[in-house]
Chains A and B, each alone.
Chain A
Amino acid sequence: MLNVLLPVTTIWWREIIRFYRQRSRLFGAIAQPLVFWILIGSGLSASFQPSGISEETTYIDYFYPGIVVLVLLFTAIFATISVVNERREGFLQGVLIAPVARWSIVLGQALGGTTLALLQGVLLLFLAPLIGIRFGLTSLCLTLNVMAILAFGLTNLGLIIAWRMDSTQGFHAIMNLILIPIWLLSGAFFPSTGAPSWLAWVMKLNPLTYGVTAFRKSLYLDSATTNGNMPTLEFSILIISLFCILTYLGATYTASTKTV
């Protein structure tokens, strides 16, 4: 058993060390969402009240969980984009010809990305009290768990794309075309309550909607507030857990089809 996990842990460890030696990446993944949050949040707070959300919740409050999820998404993207080049010319070639199963390579990479995303997400959690969120032990544990599940799923989604791509430009195109819209239409940016019905449907089918919902609900578990018309916490966690499993299987499959 230990020998099966050895490649997983060593690949995971490498991701952590790399990150530690390139700490500026931390800035990259956190700064942009943070600036978005402050600028867009403050700007829209005055003129925009999210529909179906209680009066005392201003837009900047509403936007906060979405921003944390954006940080998770960005970290997942940054952690996986290196796969594109490393697979074709570099470090990963050596990993690919080692007598190691593809599932363990992918698991190591995914856990590495998850750890980094979680680390940066947690940094943002320190801002939660600023907008009136009070954590109890339950809500904190639940929040961290939801973040971990979500980060693992998003990293695997990044891996599915990265293992397929032959260039980082391709990766950027997919990111702009698919990943950012998935985030925009997850309830992170605006609630589905007032949206036209076609858009509300797209949001309902978007797996990340359940990620943002689960995260939002676990954040506010111990704070009395109304969250409008949203799926239940249990259902949301179920959906993102399924998302997690499917993306992991997808990433393993993609990695297996690349080379023998």
Chain B
Amino acid sequence: MNNQITVNNLTHTYGSRRALDDVNFTVPRGEIFCLLGPNGSGKTTLFKILSTLMKPTSGSVDIFGYDLYNKSKAIRKLLGVVFQHPGLDIKLTVTENLRHHGHLYGLKGKTLKLRISELLERFGISDRSHDIVEELSGGLKKRVEIAKAMLHSPSILLLDEPSSGLDIGSRRQLSDHLSSLATTENILILLTTHVLDEADNCTRVGILDSGRLVSIGTPDELKGSITGDVVLIETTNGETLSQAIADRFDVSLKLTDNYIHIECEHGYEFVKEVVAAFPDEIQSVRVGRPTLEDIFIKLTGNPYV
């Protein structure tokens, strides 16, 4: 049994719209793989396909040696899934939700009880086990969701936009939980996000844009594709200013709305010159090491929204 997910030439269309366009990638066990992209980039479509909820128009997916569509029952046992929309019954208590889930996966009796208390303990929600889910905060609900997804000891954990609706503190906690699951239990974690910071905590990142996987690599590898610094200039007149900068300096730049993104070897030197040259047109300037957002803009030419 090979311990990886392999996605081959995956394409999905809704009518005439291509949500996924020939996507290929492989994720080995123990890795936290992040699909990064703005809304509408195809993340959720890919997620639905991987979670066996939807059939792709063409292409294939191999999960731990099983073909996703001929062996979906075997695969379903391997998968733990956290959907973007809450998958808990809010009228049930935490324990009732987990018990229901366990029964669906054939767990029962003492084994199930033990496993439930184990997970409640692990995710720090033991004291809330008899609370009705609708009374819990967003962060707690998310933890219950993950506990539920982990209940049947899956080898793969899929999470769709796990951080949406969480505050900074809960986000950090979530990412710590995921890291510990990946390392201590050797679980393959695949998550989607549109929050760039979150991708920084993953082993590898795949960038999706309009259904195409435009790049894939570790966060550092991706950032390494931009040498030097990134200068971001805010202006009211993007078109003319970017033209003027391009004429005057030897730099590569991209314009998104009224922001000019410039890659250059020595950012601070460049900023001095550019501000001196166009003192009136520039509203604000930011200099720094490239972020994933810069990579995204460089790769797609689109603003990251």
A: residues with CB less than 8 A from B are 3, 6-7, 9-11, 13-14, 17-18, 21-22, 89-91, 93-100, 259-260
Chain A: minimal CB distance from B252 (Å): 42
**Does chain A have a CB within 8 A of B69?**
yes
A6 lies within 8 A of B88 (CB): no
Q: Within the complex, which residue of B72, B83, B91, B103 is in contact with A10, where a contact is CB–CB below 8 Å?
A: B103
Please indicate the chain A residues that have their CB under 8 angstroms from the CB of B87 in the complex.
90-91, 93-94
- Given the known inter-chain contacts A17-B91, A93-B83, A93-B85, please indicate yes or no for A6 contacting B53, CB distance below 8 A: no
- B85 and A90 form a contact (CB under 8 A): yes
Report the minimum CB–CB distance from B305 to chain A (whole Å): 23
Contact of B92 among A7, A17, A90 (CB under 8 A): A17
A7 close to B104 (CB less than 8 A): yes
Given contacts A17-B96, A18-B91, A98-B76, contact A93 B104 (CB under 8 A): no
Which B residues touch A94, using CB under 8 A?
A: 81, 83, 87, 101, 148
Besides the known contacts A89-B85, A90-B87, A98-B101, 5 further A-B residue pairs in the complex with CB atoms under 8 A apart: A17-B96, A99-B73, A99-B77, A99-B105, A259-B52
Q: A6-B106, A97-B51, A97-B52 are in contact. Are A14 and B86 (CB under 8 A)?
A: no
Contact of A98 among B86, B99, B104, B132 (CB under 8 A): B104
**Of residues 77 to 133 in B, which have CB atoms within 8 Å of A's CB atoms?**
77, 79, 81, 83, 85-89, 91-92, 96, 99-101, 103-106, 108, 132
Q: Are A260 and B100 interface neighbours, CB within 8 A?
A: no
Q: Which residues of A contact B81 (CB under 8 A)?
A: 94, 97
Measured CA separation A99–B120 after assembly (Å): 23
24 A–B pairs (Cβ distance < 8 Å), ordered by A = A3-B106, A6-B103, A6-B104, A10-B104, A14-B100, A17-B96, A18-B89, A18-B92, A89-B85, A91-B87, A93-B87, A94-B87, A94-B101, A96-B53, A97-B52, A97-B79, A98-B101, A99-B77, A259-B54, A260-B52, A260-B53, A260-B54, A260-B69, A260-B72
B interface SS class: loop
Chain B contact residue count (CB 8 A cutoff): 31
Determine the chain A residues whose CB is within 8 A of the CB of B53 once the complex forms.
93, 96-97, 259-260
Q: How far is the CA of A67 from the CA of B91 in the complex (A)?
A: 30
Q: By the criterion CB–CB under 8 Å, are B55 and A260 in contact?
A: yes
Which chain A residues lie closer than 8 Å to B72 at the CB level? 260
In the assembled complex, the Cα of A97 lies from the Cα of B148 at a distance in Å of 13
Query: Which chain A residue has the least Cβ–Cβ distance from B83?
Result: A93
| B104 and A100 contact, CB distance less than 8 A | yes
CB closest chain-A residue, reference B108: A6
Distance between A5 CB and nearest chain B CB, rounded to angstroms:
10
Question: Least Cβ distance of B57 to chain A in Å?
Answer: 13
In the complex, the answer to whether A91 meets B89 with C-beta atoms within 8 Å is yes
CA distance A30 to B251 in the complex (A): 74
CB closest chain-B residue, reference A8 = B103
* CA gap between A95 and B51 in the complex, in Å: 12
- Complex formed: what's the CA distance from A259 to B87 in Å? 17
- Give CA–CA (A95, B105) in the complex, Å: 10
Identify which of B79, B81, B106, B148 gathers the most chain A CB atoms within 10 Å of its CB: B106
- Supposing A97-B51, A259-B53 touch, asked if A90 and B86 sit within 8 A by C-beta, the answer is yes
CA distance in complex: A96, B54 (Å): 11
Residues of B within 8 A of A259 (CB): 52-54
A residues near B132, Cβ cutoff 8 Å: 21
Pick the most buried of B76, B86, B91, B104: most chain A CB atoms within 10 A of its CB. B104
How far apart sit A193 and B131, CA to CA, in the bound complex (Å)?
A: 57
In the complex, how many angstroms separate the beta carbon of B138 from the nearest chain A beta carbon?
15
Q: Are B86 and A21 in contact (CB under 8 A)?
A: no
- The closest CB in chain B to the CB of A93 belongs to B83
- Bitwise, B41-73 to A at CB < 8 A (1) or not (0) is 000000000011111000000000000010011
Closest CB of chain A to B30's CB: distance in Å?
Answer: 23
A6 surroundings in chain B (CB, below 8 A) = 103-104, 106, 108
Complex CA gap A89/B161 in Å reads: 14
Set of chain B residues within 8 Å of A90, measured between Cβ atoms: 85-87
Residues of B within 8 A of A7 (CB): 103-104
**Interchain CB contact (< 8 A) of A95 among B54, B69, B104, B106:** B104
A10 cross-chain contacts in B, Cβ below 8 A = 99-100, 103-104
Cα distance A97–B101 when bound, in Å?
Answer: 11
User: With the chains together, A10 CA to B106 CA distance in Å?
Assistant: 11
B91 x A21 contact (CB < 8 A): yes
CB distance from A29 to the nearest CB of B (A): 17
Closest to A259 in B: B53
Q: State the CA gap A91–B53 with chains docked (Å).
A: 13
Q: Within 8 Å CB of B54, what residues of A?
A: 259-260
Q: In the complex the two chains form, what is the Cα distance from A100 to B72 in whole Å?
A: 11
CA distance A98 to B92 in the complex (A): 19
Q: Chain A contacts of B51 at CB under 8 A?
A: 97
Q: How far is the CB of A99 from chain B (nearest CB, A)?
A: 4
